[in-house]
Amino acid sequence: MKSRIFFIAACTLFLTTSITFGYEATFEPSISVGTEYTDNLFLADRNKESEYITTISPSFKAEILGKNKGAKILYTPSYAMYDEYDELDEWRHRARLSGWVELSKNTRINVNDYFLYTEDPLSVADIAPVRVDDPDESIDTTLRKSRRTYYRNTAIVNLSHQFGEFDSFNIGYRHYFLENDISIYEDKETHNPFMDLTYWFTYQWGFGIQGSYTKGLYDESDDYDFTAASARLIRKFSKLLNGFVRFGYGTLDYDGNSEDAEGYDLKIGFDYTISKDTYMSFAAGYAWLDRDRSDSESAPSANVKLIKTFKKGKIYLTGSGGYKEPSDGAETLGVREFYEAGTSATYQLTRYFSGNAFASYRYDDYLEYTPERVDKTTKAGLGLNLQVLKWMTLGLDYTYRTVDSDRDLEEYDENSVFFSISLFPSRPFRTSRY
């Protein structure tokens, strides 16, 4: 644990040391008090228990910018108090750190870190903005029901270099760990170096290559090595539209008796900037999975991403499908066939009144699990936000979640309502020195 703290501290020091000689700084504190009602506290299929959970959440956002460096941190500690089950009272912590430094005009180092400490089994409800805007943030797609504390951290550092108008090279390293206070969920850790290269050999034709290696370490299950590589041929049809054909290959090798596998994926797709406020990326094809002992399998594969910005709102759409290697989640379930779709929208209804809505669906078929297991997870929600004063807002959110599974133990339905009051300064605190 000390080495992880040292890694983040060293990166932060590296990014901010010389900023102190000339900088602009912004600091924005806030505090919110909220109460959540859930009709299924322990996410049970039968004998549901309802509960009220009150949270007090001071938080702050801080940013410091220099001539060629910058750093930003968002930190939200929260204390959760349960009405009936007060033995579950617990601190929650969520932090997001990012920083960058320009080594030269075309070379940049980025550092990102995501930390979560909580007893809440459902840490991310609205997946679409995360998948589109911040895909490095880990989303646990496996099923967690316990209210025992767990914490996870994802740290990423990468170096990017642009050596032509559209030519670029990127190399980096990702580290992830998950630790649980209850033994039914397995502690795990992954190390993941990666690289990608994009090069245009003519104005209209280019190629891209990607490669990564992941070492997965578990407390009890077999450790694994996962190697992935892909190449794509790109055709520029206009300044706003690129088409491509992509071929990917992956190999999964376990250290123990778990079944090794190889996978292949072929897609055709496009990246299209439809207008200055609309972007879409789409790819579809087919994937093949070749396992050592079991029969080979094949399935459709796809990726889609859409962002639409309005004057008063924003829409996200995301989707993906195919085969997936062992994940960072709570459960250790091996290779899966999956399909996921999500959408999210925000809109400023009036000057002081805004709303949001989201929905997502996920299908997971765990191919290494015996007996057969398929999970189908649906989430949906609505939210309203009213700014009553320059320094105060009221929020009301409703969320519905349901899981349909071959394992009766995993199935549940939950309805939750959350009301909150937030206080914040009417403008952030700013300072600078040159």
Structural domains in the chain (count): 1
pTM: 0.93
Q: Based on the number of CB atoms within 10 Å of its own CB, is 323 exposed (0-12), middle (13-18) or buried (19 or more)?
A: buried
Any domain includes 390: yes
Any domain includes 100: yes
User: Would you say the C-alpha torsion 162, 167, 173, 177 has a positive or negative sign?
Assistant: positive
CATH classification at residue 424: 2.40.170
Q: How far apart are CA 215 and CA 162, in angstroms?
A: 29
Any domain includes 27: no
Q: How far apart are CA 343 and CA 170, in angstroms?
A: 29
Task: Encode the chain (434 residues) as per-residue pLDDT tens digits.
Answer: 444 544 455 555 555 555 556 789 999 999 999 999 999 999 999 999 999 999 999 999 999 998 899 999 999 999 999 999 999 999 999 999 999 999 999 999 999 999 999 999 987 888 888 888 888 888 888 888 899 999 999 999 999 999 998 999 999 999 999 999 988 899 999 999 999 999 999 999 999 999 999 999 999 899 999 999 999 999 999 999 999 999 999 999 999 889 999 999 999 999 999 999 999 999 999 999 999 999 999 999 999 999 999 999 999 999 999 999 887 777 888 899 999 999 999 999 999 999 999 999 999 999 988 888 999 999 999 999 999 999 999 999 999 999 999 998 899 999 999 999 999 999 999 988 76
Write out the residue range of the structural domain in which residue 360 sits: 2-22+32-433
Q: Could you tell me if residue 99 is left (phi over 0), alpha (psi between -120 and 50 degrees) or otherwise beta?
A: beta
Any domain includes 89: yes
